[in-house]
């Protein structure tokens, strides 16, 4: 049996605040995330994490709006597909389509809020729980492997890594979600300009709302940039404090 002292220690570890990271760590992790997002090969590898968040956003929105979630597929080319059943039009379908491109930075914003309170362990365990919940709905081998590997890495860091490594991992991951939410929107518009993407989220939204696809692309971009600014200010707390700036 687990002792009361053991349970108390566990809850303290999970919900307790870790030491505030040094400003240099905050700066370096942001630069690393920016480098990954802006360079070709690192982005090609890391983009799968953005796809996981994207499809997870579709899935959660579908469930919250009463649609029946059929399954999620993640592909090796970093594309993904979330299938749900319900009315093909209406608010539920609009919110489900809207959630995909907005999910990575919004998740990053939630992570930034936790890190602003130095709840690093809680952030990592919430990430593991979300990945496990998503794993239930995966319908292909690559997708299952992606979630198992990603969740395993996060769990290993949260359980075995030193507080300094946990902080570096958490800040880099959240910076990446915030920054990485912007590039797919740019890529989406580039692809639409070159050859059209009738199955894209923006084009599907255009088909059921009457607003042109470009309107939805711009909306994705503006929201993600706004979330990046707010989340970035949260993450930069130690840097701002060092400079004597409060907001």
| Displacement of CA 161 from its chain's centroid (Å) | 22
Whole-number Å distance between alpha carbons of 106 and 64? 16
User: What is the residue-level pLDDT of the chain in tens, covering all 247 positions?
Assistant: 556 656 666 666 667 778 888 999 999 999 999 999 999 999 999 999 999 999 999 999 999 999 999 999 999 999 999 999 999 999 999 999 999 999 999 999 999 999 999 999 999 999 999 999 999 999 999 999 999 999 999 999 999 999 999 999 999 999 999 999 999 999 999 988 887 667 899 999 999 999 999 999 999 999 999 999 999 999 998 887 777 776 6
Q: Give me the helices (H) in the chain, please.
A: 4-15, 23-38, 40-64, 91-116, 120-135, 141-160, 163-180, 183-195, 201-209, 213-235, 237-242
Q: What are phi and psi of 82, to 5 degrees?
A: -120, 125
For the chain, domain boundaries: 20-242
**Is this prediction's pTM over 0.85?**
yes
Tell which residue, 42, 22, 40, has the closest CA to residue 32: 42
What is the model's pLDDT at position 217?
97
What is the model's pLDDT at position 9?
64
Tell which residue, 109, 111, 37, 45, has the closest CA to residue 78: 45
With H, G, I as helix, E, B as strand and everything else as coil, classify residue 140.
Answer: coil
């Amino acid at each position: 049996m687990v002792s009361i002292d053991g349970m108390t220690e566990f809850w303290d570890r999970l919900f307790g605040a870790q030491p505030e990271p040094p400003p240099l760590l905050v700066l370096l992790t942001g630069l690393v995330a920016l480098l990954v997002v802006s360079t070709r090969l690192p982005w090609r590898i890391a983009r799968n994490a953005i796809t996981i968040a994207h499809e997870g956003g579709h899935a959660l929105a579908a469930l919250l709006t009463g649609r029946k979630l059929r399954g999620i597929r993640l592909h090796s080319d970093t594309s993904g597909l979330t299938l749900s059943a319900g009315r093909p039009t209406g608010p539920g379908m609009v919110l489900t389509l809207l959630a995909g491109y907005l999910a990575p930075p919004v998740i990053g914003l939630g992570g930034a809020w936790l890190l602003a309170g130095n709840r690093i362990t809680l952030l990592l365990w919430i990430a593991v729980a979300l990945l496990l919940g998503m794993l239930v709905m995966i319908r292909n081998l690559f997708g299952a492997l992606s979630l198992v590997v990603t969740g395993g890495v996060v769990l290993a860091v949260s359980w075995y890594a030193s507080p300094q490594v946990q902080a570096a991992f958490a800040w880099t991951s959240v910076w990446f979600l915030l920054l990485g939410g912007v590039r797919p929107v740019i890529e989406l518009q580039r692809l639409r300009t070159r050859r059209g993407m009738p199955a894209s989220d923006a084009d599907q939204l255009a088909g059921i709302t009457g607003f042109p696809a470009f309107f939805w692309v711009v909306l994705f971009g503006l929201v993600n940039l706004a979330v990046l600014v707010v989340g970035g200010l949260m993450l930069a707390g130690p840097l701002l404090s060092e400079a004597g700036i409060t907001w």
